[in-house]
Structure 1
Amino acid sequence: MDVSIVTPVYNEVENIPRLYAQVEEAMRDCGRSYEIVFVDDGSKDGSLEELRQLAEKDERVKIVRFRRNYGQTAAMQAGLQWASGDVIVTIDGDLQNDPNDIPMMLDKIDEGYDLVHGWRKKRQDAWINRKLPSQIANWIISRTTGFPIHDLGCTLKAIRREIAQELELYGEMHRFIPILAHERGARCVEVVTNHHPRQFGTTKYGIGRTFRVVLDLITVKYMIKYFASPMKLFGMAGLWTGLLGAACGAGVIAMKAFGGVDMTGNPLLLMTFFSLMVAVQFLSLGLLGEVSARIYYGSQNKHHYAIGELINFSDHPQLNVHRAA
């Protein structure tokens, strides 16, 4: 299989047949074999039935059905796991991404890039609750991580399979895929893609999602710099607070020895004990983090979602692993 097109779906019954038709048209003259992996994220509007009809008439349509709604990141992770193409393309199921951009992104992959991510330069969304928060978040993320990017929220991406299989996505981390891949040595490039206004259904995301993204940004920053060795973060913080406590203690002793200042009422004495206690806590967190990292790297592969059904995956190599689990 040359290309797998992964599409998370949650209550998009009107968009599914139109998206399928657009993908089929875009890939028709591409000269590549492909499959479409739909991940039904607990839809309740008839989306699953629509997907079943497509799967019955086209064996290239694969369906991963979740038992309940787990969110877009979990759906994306499952799609990446069950995709079998050499290149995996991710695209939203709401028709706002343009499937006609897929051949262009695949050509970029052929140029030697490992990941091609879209930039919705002319985004067709409301400015107050969608575009403005996104612009602010992209600016903060770019400055925090040092990764130059205009639009982390664009789902339309093309990724080499070996890179995609190494990603582990939690929370809202599907939008950090380019950063996580870049950190693993992937060659990434951003390209301008088309964007259309939503015609059917309602958006699942609002301005409140921005706060969750900021929290995940902290996690990503930690994973990039300190995940393999948490002691570098917590140990350094512990050393600095320990030095602060030592300095305060030395100041208290000096004030008592040379100035006759009462140690009991000296606030520096309280700062000394407080700093030393915080230092011990930071060092303890670092040790616990180191142990957790070792357990993580040595543990078996586990996922934070549950699959209820797989359709048209009879020849997929992951199937035996899933059955054994």
Structure 2
Amino acid sequence: MSEPVPLVSPAPTAPSAAGADGPEVSIVIPVYNEAENLPDLVRRVGEALVPTGRSFELILVDDGSRDATAALMREAAARTPWLVPVVLARNYDQSSALQAGFDRVRGRYVVTLDGDLQNDPLDIPVLLDRLDADASVDMLSGWRRDRQDAEISRKLPSRIANALISRATGVHLHDYGCALKAYRREIIDRIRLYGELHRFIPSLAKDAGARIAEVPVRHHARTRGVSKYGIDRTFRVILDLVLIVFFMRYRQRPLHAFGGLGLWLLTPGLGMLGYLGALKLLGQDIGGRPLLMTGMLLSLIGVQLIVAGLVGEMLTRIYHEAGGRPQAHVRVDGATRRP
């Protein structure tokens, strides 16, 4: 589990039902050192949403910025009734900031985007209209078809990551890295983010039963502030991908993962030991043979992996039975929710 995220600002109490006594749309934007962009960001979100007539809230989550971002958020909130500032006690990560925002949403729809103004808030109404019109879609993921990043250090790693994640998870998207996404609230209620899992929200949403579509959106070059991404992110994506694939395929059956690998190692290990045992019975000396050490090593590792799988099965049973957590979700009116 991820560590708790202490907050400077108090968390508003969310209603038990999505959208009850609350706005129709919740927009969540994590920000970090975006003081230069913040005034325009708030203004442009208002210009995009107010004309639609939809009730909405903008939840800005400051992830421990070192500039004036937090102060500007509070000043803007004092004169903007639909702005909800959330200030984290220190810099955690984008996943923790997003989750802090998700914990406070009250709307029937949830929209996320970045705070650097490269995503266009004018695309938000388009996504919301699509969710209204198409009950067969639970999540819309933006696709920056004409991406305006000039740096090869951002475009190339992004393409590699998109290909790897799509192939490994089975959720085929052109642009996993686009922060502009829209969800039905029920999907957000089923997702918990920690570490750096924000990159894999579509995969987590699919695991929660979401039906996902991809929509081309506008993208603008960054004009102010400094990008927080680098080529080293590609290597972190690979490590996180191992976790997400295991989570999606073996979360409820860890014995199949650990035990299956254990059997693959145990079987040849026992075969080697059986062969050497037969030679020993025939009077041959086997003490100095490398095959003996190899057989023992494979057998021990295989047994350990099978035991790890059994322990994982017991933990999974405790997780579902003691916590009363459902293993499946029921689809109602085009959305997925708890039975």
User: Aligning the two structures, in what range does the TM-score lie when normalised by the shorter sequence?
Assistant: 0.7 to 0.9
Tell me: higher relative CO, structure 1 or 2? Use CA pairs within 8 A at least 6 residues apart: 1
Instruction: Tell me the SS of whatever aligns to 1:116.
Output: strand
Range moving further from structure 2, 204-213 or 91-100: 204-213
1:245 aligns with 2:245: no
Residue 189 of structure 1 aligns with which residue? 213
* Alpha-carbon distance in structure 2 between the residues aligned to 1:274 and 1:98: 57
For residue 289 of structure 1, report the CA deviation from its aligned partner.
2.2
Matched, 1:210 2:234: yes
Q: Displacement, 1:81? A: 1.2
8 Å Cα contact 2:191-2:208 kept in structure 1: no
Q: Paired residue for 2:300?
A: 277
User: In 2, distance between residues paired with 1:269 and 1:185?
Assistant: 49
SS of 2:103's equivalent in the other structure is helix
**Structure 2 CA distance for aligned equivalents of residues 149 and 232 of structure 1:** 28
Q: Does the CA-based 8 Å contact 1:74-1:169 persist in structure 2? A: yes
Match of 1:223 in 2: 247
- After superposition, the C-alpha distances for 1:172-219 in whole angstroms (9 at most, x for unaligned) are 111111111112211100111111111111011111122111111111
Secondary structure at 1:198's aligned position in 2?
Answer: coil
Deviation, structure 1 residue 171: 1.4
Cα 1:296/1:64, change in 2 over 3 Å = farther
Letter in 2 for 1:277: L
Which secondary structure state, in structure 1, belongs to the residue aligned with residue 226 of structure 2?
Answer: coil
CA distance in 2 between counterparts of 1:125 and 1:242 reads 50
| 2-structure distance, mates of 1:255, 1:105 | 71
The secondary structure found in structure 2 opposite 1:29 is helix
Spell out, residue by residue over 1:11-33, the C-alpha distance to the aligned partner (whole angstroms, 9 max, x if none). Answer: 10111110111111111222311
Partner AA of 1:131 in structure 2: K
Structure 1 equivalent of residue 161 of structure 2: 137
| Whole-angstrom distance in 2 between the partners of 1:289 and 1:13 | 46
In the alignment, structure 1 residue 177 sits paired with structure 2 residue 196: no
Which residue of structure 2 lines up, in the alignment, with residue 323 of structure 1? none
Contact 1:121 1:192 in 2 (8 A): yes
1:150-175 CA distance string (max 9 Å, x none)? 11111100011110011011111111
SS at match of 1:82: coil
Question: 2:92 pairs with 46, 53, 70, which one?
Answer: 70
- The equivalences for 1:45-124 within 5 A come to 45-110=67-132, 111-112=134-135, 113-124=137-148
Q: Distance in 2 between matches of 1:126 and 1:266?
A: 59
Q: CA deviation at 1:284?
A: 2.4
> Shift of residue 254 of structure 1?
4.0
**SS at the partner of 2:58?**
strand
* Cα contact 1:252–1:266 (8 A) shared by 2: no
The one-letter amino acid paired with 2:254 is P
Q: TM-score, normalised by structure 1?
A: 0.88
Q: Name which of structure 1's ranges 66-75 and 106-115 shifts more when overlaid on structure 2.
A: 106-115
Higher mean alpha-carbon deviation, 23-32 vs 4-13, is at 23-32
Range 28-37 or range 157-166, more displaced: 28-37
Q: Deviation of residue 41 (structure 1)? A: 0.7
Aligned partners of 1:142 and 1:203: how far apart in 2? 25
CA deviation after TM superposition for structure 1 residue 122, in Å: 1.2
Aligned equivalent of 2:58? 36
Structure 2 residue 179 is the aligned partner of structure 1 residue 155: yes
Offset, 1:109: 1.1
Alpha-carbon distance in 2 for matches of 1:21, 1:280:
61
State the match for 1:23 in structure 2: 45
Deviates more, 1:8-17 or 1:260-269: 260-269
The alpha carbon displacement at 1:69 in A equals 0.5
- Equivalent residue for 2:190? 166
Cα drift, residue 107 of structure 1: 1.6
Structure 1, unpaired ranges of 5+: 302-325
Question: Counterpart amino acid of 2:45?
Answer: V
The answer as to whether partners of 1:105 and 1:158 remain within 8 angstroms in 2 is: yes
How many residue pairs match? The answer is 300
What TM-score do you get using the length of structure 2 for normalisation? 0.84
Cα contact 1:40–1:75 (8 A) shared by 2: yes
CA distance in 2, matches of 1:147, 1:251: 46
Q: CA deviation at 1:229?
A: 2.3
Sequence identity of aligned pairs in percent? Answer: 48
Deviation of 1:290 (Å): 2.7
1:9 partner letter: V
